[in-house]
C-alpha cells in the first residue's frame, strides 16, 4: 500500500493534516513549542488554557502515539515530534487549529 493511501489521496502530508482533529493539532503545536514539558504537565496546561477535559486530551495523545506522530524516550521525559508530526504541522497556523 502506498504511503498516504490509507487517507484516500495521493498527497499524504495534505491528507494527514486534513484528517487530524483540531485537538490533536493543538497538542502537536504545544509539543513543538514546549520541548521540556512532560506529557502530564503539557496536557494539564492545554486543559487549563483551552478548557478541554483532560480525559479528552489523553485519548487524543494516545492516538498521536499510535499513528507515530509523537515519541519520547521513557515515561516522564519530554515529548518530541516525529518526522510525521513535524510534517503534519508544516504550514498549519494556530488559526487553522482552533475549531
pLDDT at 18 over 80: no
End-to-end Cα separation, the chain, in angstroms: 32
pLDDT at 3 over 50: no
Single pTM value for the model: 0.74
Instruction: Convert the pLDDT of each residue in 19-50 to its tens digit.
Output: 688 999 999 999 999 888 889 999 999 999 99
Instruction: Give domain 12-97's CATH number out of 2.60.120.560, 3.90.105.10, 1.10.10.10, 3.40.50.970.
Output: 1.10.10.10
Per domain, the residue ranges of the chain are 12-97
pLDDT at 81 over 80: yes
Residue 58 confidence (pLDDT): 96
Amino acid at each position: 500500500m502506498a504511503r498516504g493511501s490509507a487517507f484516500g489521496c495521493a498527497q499524504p502530508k495534505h491528507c494527514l493534516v486534513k484528517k487530524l482533529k483540531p485537538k490533536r493539532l493543538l497538542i502537536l503545536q504545544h509539543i513543538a513549542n514546549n520541548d521540556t514539558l512532560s506529557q502530564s504537565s503539557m496536557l494539564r496546561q492545554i486543559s487549563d488554557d483551552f478548557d478541554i477535559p483532560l480525559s479528552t486530551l489523553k485519548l487524543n495523545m494516545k492516538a498521536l502515539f499510535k499513528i507515530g506522530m509523537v515519541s519520547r524516550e521513557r515515561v516522564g521525559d519530554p515529548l518530541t515530534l516525529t518526522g510525521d508530526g513535524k510534517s503534519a504541522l508544516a504550514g498549519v497556523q494556530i488559526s487553522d487549529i482552533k475549531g
